[in-house]
Structure 1
């Protein structure tokens, strides 16, 4: 006599629909065979991420677009008529947000994107394929915006190696390069917003920001996963009077407090 199973599968019922498993996730990718465990976890997380679905429904090219939108909703950075530079702009999610909120293509508003990778075109947006550290790129950007920019954005992060200290150092190097670029092209009272991985090595770069901007703070939008070391550093009120002295910044970093913010220097959105 065949016996009926006493219970359902931990992830699927008789209807074939997914049920919540011990990870707390309800949906599972259909094709998992042959994939590495890390890839399986990433796919499962993507399927269950409400921000992935929201970004898709709004026509954004990336989930990251929601991070910028949430930061701007809180801090009111982007305004019609502004000139903005987006470093590491591919695939273009942040460009979409800026183009909409600054009304790019109307009046004097300008938007420039830079990336080593090709980025699909957007109406009225100037996109350069190249290295932001190339001195020629500064001239291209200034020509494109007609002078200097009101804001510089960077969502750049180095490719991960799986070794957290190494990943932190590599992304901090990108933060430093982005800040250097920003200080070359920003107007007085301009702003700089960049991805920043917490870990300690970023303190010298934050010290340079504190000497050259009126206010520096950490922000973590809701679309940035809680378990991630990712946050964003927002520097406003650029004046550039502090100069660029990494050695002095290292000394200052030992004495100065963390940038403005709640929860140990990080103000959640």
Structure 2
């Protein structure tokens, strides 16, 4: 056995159970052998998704010390953790507000709302907690999967469009919007729509996003605030 063989992590084999479907077995197998899942556990992040945001911030400099950030669809909290560290919210120099329909344990420096973002009261409550214009709006929201690709695409795009509308309401001039979408045919429409209000708009796929996933992110930077007539 070579040194490289000894250092290579052994692949975990998932034991078969009668109660476990093939899809569940495949998902569990992927989770147990995912290097980002293992790294998140070691480094104290709540999800592997944290590394998607870390990579994108390293590339595009989304966060600035003292900035205000909104995290839509925050559970389990990985993105909020990253944002809090990078704007200084842990020491109250910046501010991070997160919202999710799922309840979450507290995160240092983050104000969390246990509420459906699509609820009528959600935008006003987020704005009140934020205490001023946002510098970054994040959305990692996703609807429950149906297994029908086109239906799932349309559902996540509806969430993305709602997030984009909210971003336009709260972003300060020059602000950024990052949102999860799925390939499926209509994600280009959102891109074109955002180009009217942002200086730079593009699709990005960070390395931590699984290669076999239809997941993409829309990144819009340089918000041009529309003056009300």
Report the counterpart of residue 167 of structure 1 in structure 2. Answer: 152
Q: Distance in 2 between matches of 1:188 and 1:209?
A: 14
| 1:124 positional shift | 2.6
Separation in structure 1 between the aligned mates of residue 41 and residue 49 of structure 2, nearest angstrom:
11
Q: Which whole-Å CA distance do the structure 2 matches of 1:118 and 1:59 have between them? A: 19
Q: Describe how 1:110-125 pairs up with structure 2 within 5 A.
A: 110-125=95-110
Is 2:160 the counterpart of 1:207?
Answer: no
Are 2:118 and 1:133 aligned? yes
1:93 counterpart residue number:
78
The structure having more radius of gyration, on CA atoms, is 1
The answer to which structure, 1 or 2, has the higher relative contact order (CA under 8 A, 6+ apart) is 2
Q: How many residue pairs get matched? A: 219
| CA displacement at 1:107 relative to structure 2 | 5.2
CA gap 1:76/1:117 in 2 versus in 1, 3 angstroms: same
Residue 28, structure 1, aligned to residue 28, structure 2: no
What root-mean-square deviation, in Å, do the aligned CA atoms of Structure 1 and Structure 2 show? 1.8
TM-score, structure 1 length as denominator?
Answer: 0.77
Name stretches of at least 5 consecutive residues in structure 2 with no aligned partner.
Answer: 1-9
Alpha-carbon shift at residue 199 of structure 1 (Å): 1.2
Q: Which residue of 2 aligns with 1:197?
A: 182
Which whole-Å CA distance do the structure 1 matches of 2:227 and 2:117 have between them? 23
Whether 1:178 aligns to 2:163 is yes
Say whether the 8 Å CA contact 1:138–1:185 is kept in structure 2.
no
SS state at 1:188 partner:
strand
Give the match's secondary structure for 2:193: helix
Q: Secondary structure at 1:211's aligned position in 2?
A: coil
